[in-house]
Amino acid sequence: MKLENAKGVKDLPPEEKIIKNEVIEKIKRIFELYGFLPLETTILERYETLAAKFGAGESSDALKEVFKLKDQGERNLALRFDLTVPMSRYIAMNPNIKMPFKRYEVGPVFRDGPIKLGRTREFWQMDIDTSGCASMLADAEILAMVDAVFKELDLDIVVKVNNRKLLNGILEQIGIKEKKEVIISIDKLDKIGKEGISAEIKTKGYNQKQIDQIFQFIKQDMTIQELKKLISNREGLEGIQELEDLFSYLKEMGITTVLFDISLARGLAYYTSTVFEAFIKKGTIKSSLAGGGRYDDMVGNYIGEDKKIPATGISFGLIPIIETIKEKRGKITKKSPSKVYIIPINKINASLKIIQELRNNNINSDMDIMQRSISKNLDYANSLGIPYVIFVGEDEVKQNKYKLRDMISGKEEELTISQLIKRLE
């Protein structure tokens, strides 16, 4: 039998898993800096939970990409396609949660969609969401946090922002009734271009004049101030006001990475107001590194009883973020979390004592347990990208000074255990 991965999924070797862990820890630190609480929801969901009109939406691309299965009781189940719908279910099942509920979650999601660089069928997301707050303050805080995350990761990004109410207002003004379906088509502008979008919208029964009007509004250089003069209906003007409030708060916080883009739509049907996506400014990764928006109806619809719980959030795509970091760093040399590798030269017991001293001082350490030659051990440490090695031989033990070699420069020092600890901390 030929062993191979399922299509669209991949194993992460240690060198990539190290980067992933590093990214997760950095992002989690920023999440908690902003007061978000950790949450873990289930990977397996009831299919009807994901398929609900207030969840993925019957015409949503996400629902078409859901992995479906049945259990032994013939119940319809599915793998979650994002972390937002499970969070909404969780809030609905726990009505005594104090609001605002600011949560973050890290975990795998699954979509049976097309495969390209930066996009696979199993991928990890890191989400933050604020539930229970209708003010644009919540959206502004999330976008400020996005700015902080990518600064921490040393990635130069731009965050594009739009508003679904504004898009609805534009479509209403043009005479488009099936707004959600047309918005899903608009979201594909970068993928299929104007011609592709025009063809899709025509199949929904709209004429060329209406299509031309749509493109007049969603020009790349369209500004909020220009739209303010063109929009006349209540919903569209409400969307403009929300955008003005949002950018006012961002200005107060000194956030300059967020830009208005009228063509940004987001493919999911549950968005009700602001939508946003983060992209790297330069690089081969074209997928968004993070995306989200406001979904004021979803959580309340799960609860029922006409209860409304406003919510807003964003999801970070770990795979495109990691691919971007790898592209920026070039060749990956670090394949081990260890900072130092101990090479015993017929001194196993002394080496065990030293490595425990290092580990007791929170220094990631490894040592030869195969009793190989010095040259083979040096090759091994070098292949894993471990930056330092310590030689433990008879002379070193007698003098209580151990040779520390920098594997990059080749420089060597003789240090006591306490000096080694200080040097490696």
Residues 14-329: name the CATH superfamily: Bira Bifunctional Protein; Domain 2 (3.30.930.10)
Model confidence pLDDT, tens digit, residues 14-28:
998 999 999 999 999
For the cut 70, the answer to whether the pLDDT of residue 58 exceeds it is: no
Model confidence pLDDT, tens digit, residues 302-349:
777 678 899 999 999 888 898 899 888 887 778 999 999 999 999 999
* Burial group, residue 191, by CB count within 10 angstroms (0-12, 13-18, 19+): exposed
60 confidence band (pLDDT: 50, 70, 90): low
Q: Residue 220 in contact with residue 300, Cβ under 8 Å?
A: no
Q: Map residue 382 onto helix, strand or coil.
A: helix
pLDDT of 179: 77
Distances (CA, A) of 132 to 43, 55, 56, 136, 161: 24, 18, 21, 12, 21
Q: What is the CATH topology of the domain spanning 340-424?
A: Rossmann fold (3.40.50)
pTM for the structure as a whole: 0.85
Provide, rounded to the nearest whole percent, the portion of the chain with pLDDT above 90: 67
What's the rounded Cα separation, in Å, for the pair 181 and 184? 5
The strand ranges marked E within 74-136 are 76-79, 101-110, 122-131
pLDDT of 268: 74
Model confidence pLDDT, tens digit, residues 189-247:
777 877 787 887 887 778 888 888 888 787 778 899 999 988 989 999 999 999 999 99
What's the rounded Cα separation, in Å, for the pair 219 and 346? 73
The strand ranges marked E within 193-310 are 258-260, 274-280, 290-294
Question: What is the pLDDT averaged over residues 257-273?
Answer: 88
Q: Map residue 128 onto helix, strand or coil.
A: strand
Q: Residue 380 in contact with residue 393, Cβ under 8 Å?
A: no
- Which of 201, 207, 245, 203 shows the shortest CA–CA distance to 224? 245
| Residue 118 dihedral angles phi and psi, to the nearest 5° | 90, -5
Residues linked to residue 44 through DSSP beta bridges, in sequence order: 79
Domain ranges of the chain: 14-329, 340-424
User: Distance between terminal CA atoms of the chain?
Assistant: 48
E strand or H helix that includes residue 313: strand 311-317
Model confidence pLDDT, tens digit, residues 119-140:
789 989 899 999 999 999 999 9
For the cut 60, the answer to whether the pLDDT of residue 51 exceeds it is: yes
Residues linked to residue 406 through DSSP beta bridges, in sequence order: 388
Judge whether 14-329 and 340-424 match in fold: no
